[in-house]
Amino acid sequence: MEEKLQALWQRGCDFLGSRTAILGGAMSWLSDRNLVAAISNAGGFGVIACGAMTPELLATEIAETQAMTDKPFGVNLITMHPDLDVLIDVCIKAEVTHVVLAGGVPSAGSIAKIKEAGIKTICFAPALALAKRMIRNGADALVIEGTEAGGHIGPVATSVLAQEILPHITDVPVFVAGGISRGEAIVSYLEMGASGCQLGTRFVCAHESIAHPDFKKSFIRANARDAVPTVQVDPKFPVIPVRALINEGTKRFSQAQRDAAGRVERGEIELKDAQLEIEHFWAGALKRAVIDGDVENGSMMAGQSVGMVNSEQPTQDIINELVDQAVQILDARGSK
Residue 336 in this model has a pLDDT that exceeds 70: no
* Res. 276 pLDDT band, cuts 50 70 90: confident
Question: Does an H or E element contain 116, and which?
Answer: helix 108-116
Bridge partners (DSSP) of residue 245 are 227
Residue 44 lies in a domain: yes
37 and 94 assigned to the same domain:
yes
Using pLDDT thresholds of 50, 70 and 90, give the confidence band for residue 52.
Answer: confident
Domain total for the chain?
2
Domain match, 262 and 173 both: no
Structural Rg of the chain based on CA atoms: 19
Residues 63 and 176 both lie in one domain: yes
Residue 255, pLDDT above cutoff 70: yes
Query: Is 214 inside a domain boundary?
Result: no
Mark whether 252 and 275 lie in a shared domain.
yes
pLDDT digits (tens, 9 = 90+) for 277-323: 887 788 889 999 999 999 999 999 999 999 999 999 999 999 999 99
334: left (phi over 0), alpha (psi -120 to 50) or beta: alpha
The answer, yes or no, to whether residue 171 has pLDDT greater than 80, is yes
Mean pLDDT confidence for 214-221: 98
Domain coverage including residue 321: 2-209+310-329
Angle at 221 between CA 216 and CA 227, to 5 degrees: 85
Separation CA 125–CA 113 (nearest Å): 20
The CA distance from 193 to 25, in Å, is 20
Name the amino acid, one letter, at 165.
Answer: I
Do residues 180 and 316 both lie within one domain? yes
In the sheet that holds 151-152, the strands lie side by side as 151-152, 242-245, 227-229
Same domain, 110 and 178: yes
Q: In terms of C-beta density within 10 A (0-12 exposed, 13-18 middle, 19 or more buried), how is residue 63 classed?
A: exposed
Query: DSSP labels for 250-316?
Result: HHHHHHHHHHHHHHHHTTSS-HHHHHHHHHHHHHHHHHHHHTT--TTTS--B--GGGGG--S-B-HH
Say if residue 335's pLDDT is above 70: no
Q: Does any domain span residue 15?
A: yes
Q: Assign residue 171 the CATH number of its domain.
A: 3.20.20.70
> In this structure, is residue 216 part of a structural domain?
no
336: in domain: no
Tens of pLDDT, residues 186-205: 999 999 999 999 999 999 99
Average pLDDT, the chain: 95
Bridge partners (DSSP) listed for residue 176: 144, 197
Residue 217 lies in a domain: no
Confidence of residue 257 (pLDDT cuts 50, 70, 90): confident
54 and 168 co-located in one domain: yes
Bridge partner list, 199: 24
- Residue 272 buriedness (CB in 10 A; 0-12 / 13-18 / 19+): exposed
Answer yes or no: do 32 and 147 share one domain: yes
The per-residue pLDDT for 277 is 82
Is a pLDDT exceeding 60 seen at residue 101?
A: yes
The candidate with the shortest Cα–Cα distance to 176, out of 196, 160, 192, 191, is 196
Asked whether residue 161 is assigned to any structural domain, the reply reads: yes
**291 shares its domain with 316:** no
Domain-embedded: residue 103: yes
Same domain for 197 and 251, yes or no, is no
Q: Are residues 186 and 153 in the same domain?
A: yes
Q: What's the rounded mean pLDDT across residues 233-242?
A: 83
Does 144 lie in the same domain as 273?
A: no
In the chain, count H helices and then E strands.
12, 11
Q: Which residues contact 77 (CB under 8 A, 6 or more apart)?
A: 50, 84, 87, 88, 91, 99, 100, 101, 102
What secondary structure does DSSP assign to 220-265, as a single string? HH--GGGEEEPPPS-TTS----EEEE-SHHHHHHHHHHHHHHHHHH
Task: Compute the C-alpha angle 55/297/247, nearest 5°.
Answer: 120
Average pLDDT estimate for 133-147:
97
